[in-house]
Amino acid sequence: MDRQGTAHLAAERAGDRLRVTLGGAWDIRHPRPGIDGVLSQLSAATPPARVEFESSGLGKFDSTLISCLLQLARGASERGVEFDFASLPEGVDDLLEMALAVPEKRDASGGVTEVSFFSRVGSASLAMVDGLFDLFSFIGECLFAFGRLFTGRARFRRRDMWVTMQECGAEALPIVSLINLLIGMILAFVGSQQLGSMGANLFVANLVALAMTREMASIMTGIIMSGRTGAAFAAQLGSMKTNQEIDALRTFGFSAVDFLVLPRMLALIVMMPLLTIYASVVGMVGGLLVGMLTGLTFQQYFDQTMRALDFTSCAIGVGKSIVFGVIIAAAGCLRGMQCGNSSSAVGTAATAAVVTAITAIIAADCLFAVLLSILGI
């Protein structure tokens, strides 16, 4: 008999006994034979009283054989049929006895449950309502925390705020510099292509200055900080929740929002305007480099930039950055507080914080554009 060939199984009924013959190699490299025939005989109107095995033709095997025999053993047990472990190869009987000692979960062998379209819509709607409730609750807690801050009753470590300011301020300068320098150069390249064809290459300085101060510096800095700082906030708070540190704070009578959220939000509120002003200058330097390559002198570019800039444009960019800082800190802290209790949930919370912050920043910028257009600013 070929002990290395394809796995095969045959069942033969002899009176009140069912003899199952196993042969071939039962491993993952060979297809597993079906056992429906054996199960049908076990579920017959007059099932056999005993199941025996003939395994002299059995070759090498792995868990494929064990899983097959385990399914047969459970089917026999459900119908009160005796299962002869002694006739199986050495070691297989011990594995089966250990597997059968643990009761099978009811949903362990179930297939994928089909969920209707309306059930999915209902579940998504309920999840959205729960998310909105958590959001408004978190906003309310933050407002109360700021109220306690202004009245001198908020309890948090000032050192944490200074450390966070360094992390989201000075340590973010390299990536903020690189991105905004490239953005300024891109704007200048595009502007020089269009304006140069009309002999108005000098107005590239106006384009770069206004675009950076009013829009691009605040938006790009906000997106950078969402991926860098917002995700870090979510990961930090998510890890603390996983380790039950937030529960410990509440047990000792500390407000988690005061102690954890407030210093991070204050740090971003302070640092985002400074980073935005710095990003605007770096972006204009990038425009200057391109302008000088296209024939403008430093003095021409500088003078035109000074004519284009005014207090209103700078104030709009700085005001947006404050709002974006609140959004980034709130999104990161909210997702961190909502984190589950597993290690994988921390990564999910960080990803959700980045997506939430970027989406909210773009939506807020659109709202700013509409309001400023209505006001004529």
The H-assigned helical ranges of 44-113 are 63-78, 92-101
In the chain, the domains with their CATH numbers are 8-101 (3.30.750.24), 133-375 (no CATH)
- Beta strand 17-26 pairing with 50-61: parallel
Q: Give the whole-number percent of the chain exceeding pLDDT 70.
A: 93
The band of 3, judged by pLDDT with boundaries at 50, 70 and 90, is low
Coil, strand or helix at 198:
coil
Of residues 261, 32, 55, 292, the one with CA closest to residue 160: 261
**Cα 33 from chain centroid?**
41
Q: Does 104 have pLDDT greater than 70?
A: no
> How far is the C-alpha of 112 from the C-alpha of 299, rounded, in Å?
70
Residue 85 has pLDDT above 70, yes or no: no
Q: State pLDDT tens for residues 139-187.
A: 888 888 888 888 888 888 888 889 888 988 889 999 999 999 999 999 9
* CA 305 – CA 276 distance, rounded (Å): 17
Share of the chain above pLDDT 90, in %: 28
- 203 pLDDT higher than 90: no
List, for residues 298-353, the tens digit of each pLDDT value: 898 888 889 888 888 899 999 999 999 999 999 999 998 888 777 788 888 899 99
Average pLDDT of the chain, as a whole number: 83
Q: Which residues of 96-128 are buried (b: 16+ CB within 10 A; e: fewer)?
A: beeeeeeeeeeeeeeeeeeeeeeeeeeeeeeee
